[in-house]
Structure 1
Amino acid sequence: MTKDQPSPIRPTDDEARLLARTLLTEARFGALAVSLPDQTAPYVSRVATVAIEGAPHLLVSELSLHTKALTTHPDCSLLIGEPEDRGDPLTHPRMTLMARAEIADKASLKETWLEAIPKAKLYYDFTDFVMFRLTITKAHLNGGFGKAFHLEASDFAN
């Protein structure tokens, strides 16, 4: 981008904040990007997610590579937002959350999680499953073609 080209990033407004919160609240899975301790390339995995008290939470197995990565390097990104049945997928809203993961109290969140993802009842109580809370530090919202926004953690507060 040169000084003659306008920035493709729009000023963050209430409409963008509402869309960001809606994507976060409605997401039930996403693509989690982590840094593996012995690799230089990012590692991406599909994970289940539920927003609880404004923060994405992940229920993951300690046997997985992404869980091992989060325990050694808790900085991560989560891409959420799914294209609808019709149209170009790149015209549908999606958002990348930059976050820091920390262990959450899995037992206290069981009812909320199972209400959102009932099939998780099959494995929720497995001892190798842990819950992470992602504290959002920044986000990039693509609200559709030509609608890009940078968001801060404060943009997710109600």
Structure 2
Amino acid sequence: MTSATPKPPRAAGPAPGTPPPIPPHADASVEIVRRLLRRAERGTLATRLAEADGWPYSSLVMIAVNHDLSPILLLSDLAEHTRNLIADPRASLLIDGTAGAEDPLSAPRVTLLGRIARIDDRAAAARYVAHHPASALHAGFADFHYYRLGIERAHLVAGFGRIRWLEAAALLPPVPEALVRDERKLIDALNQDVDLVRRLATAAGAKATTGWKVAGVDRDGLDLRRSDRSLRLEFGGPVETIDDAVAALEPILRPDAR
């Protein structure tokens, strides 16, 4: 158990803003989906119209991804998709990873299938607001509530001929309870070091490195946020504690030490 907040890594030259390669022992499809989800901040939600004979209905939603990989949504009671979910909680969520690709059809995207339920989870709510600061303006409204998509299956299209169905049991990662417990402590410690956050932003590929904040840390990486932009740094492997996370930042911030 961690007794004190670990010290952030010392400064050195920035690392490239590219994620580490997928470990050779890992299931490539699983890792692709996990990385797509961890980097996602929005998706296309598909529900069945409650008052129109079940016709398909799709809508844009903003999401934050929890430690267990489940998408968290903040929905209004007045929204069409919310009324649809009350009548039938089954839904799908398309996460599109094709932005910037010369040929979008050759780039990865994944459709998540599952059931969406309303939650009362302060940690999930805080995680959502940290990733979407503008949502704080209406998160406290009486007609807005948090929801969670419980993933049951995923359909990955990673390019031509690279198509696979994945069951939740194979896709969802173990939750590092110690990291979840101490995540806020680490985030606060990192954000107190403005120079460190600038170097993290540089390592993540940011051109302008001012104004960034660490928004979240999970077993696979670290999220940075600045106004309406987000960046992510992938760790070289999964971490279990905040000490592990700090150690994982060393080769990112000090590539010469690899």
Alignment partner, residue 45 of structure 1: 59
What are the residue-to-residue correspondences of 1:5-154 with 2, within 5 Å? 14-39=27-52, 40-52=54-66, 53-154=68-169
TM-score, normalised via structure 1 length: 0.86
Give how far 1:25 is off: 1.4
- Distance, in Å, in 1 between the alignment partners of 2:108 and 2:70 is 19
Report if the CA contact (8 A) 2:72-2:124 is conserved: no
Q: Deviation string for 1:59-113 (max 9, x for gaps)?
A: 1111000001111100000001232324011111100011101111154423211
- Distance, in Å, in 2 between the alignment partners of 1:78 and 1:36 is 15
The alignment of Structure 1 onto Structure 2 pairs a total of residues equal to 146
- Aligned AA (2:63): T
- Bigger helix share: 2
Q: Deviation string for 1:34-79 (max 9, x for gaps)?
A: 0112223200000011111221111111100000111110000000
Alignment partner, residue 10 of structure 1: none
- Aligned AA (2:43): G
- Distance, in Å, in 2 between the alignment partners of 1:84 and 1:62 is 30
Report if the CA contact (8 A) 2:101-2:107 is conserved: no
Secondary structure of the structure 2 residue equivalent to 1:25: helix
Report if the CA contact (8 A) 1:81-1:94 is conserved: yes
- Distance, in Å, in 2 between the alignment partners of 1:55 and 1:131 is 12
- Distance, in Å, in 2 between the alignment partners of 1:113 and 1:23 is 17
- Aligned AA (2:149): L
Alignment partner, residue 180 of structure 2: none
- Bigger strand share: 1
Report if the CA contact (8 A) 1:59-1:132 is conserved: yes
- Distance, in Å, in 1 between the alignment partners of 2:146 and 2:78 is 13
Q: 1:86 to 1:37 in 2, by over 3 A?
A: closer
- Distance, in Å, in 2 between the alignment partners of 1:18 and 1:121 is 31
> Which segments of 5 or more consecutive residues in structure 1 lack a partner in the other structure?
1-12
- Distance, in Å, in 1 between the alignment partners of 2:92 and 2:101 is 27
Alignment partner, residue 203 of structure 2: none
Q: Whose RCO is larger (CA < 8 A, sep 6+)?
A: 1
- Aligned AA (2:36): L
| Identity across matched positions, percent | 36
- Distance, in Å, in 1 between the alignment partners of 2:159 and 2:132 is 27
Secondary structure of the structure 2 residue equivalent to 1:31: strand
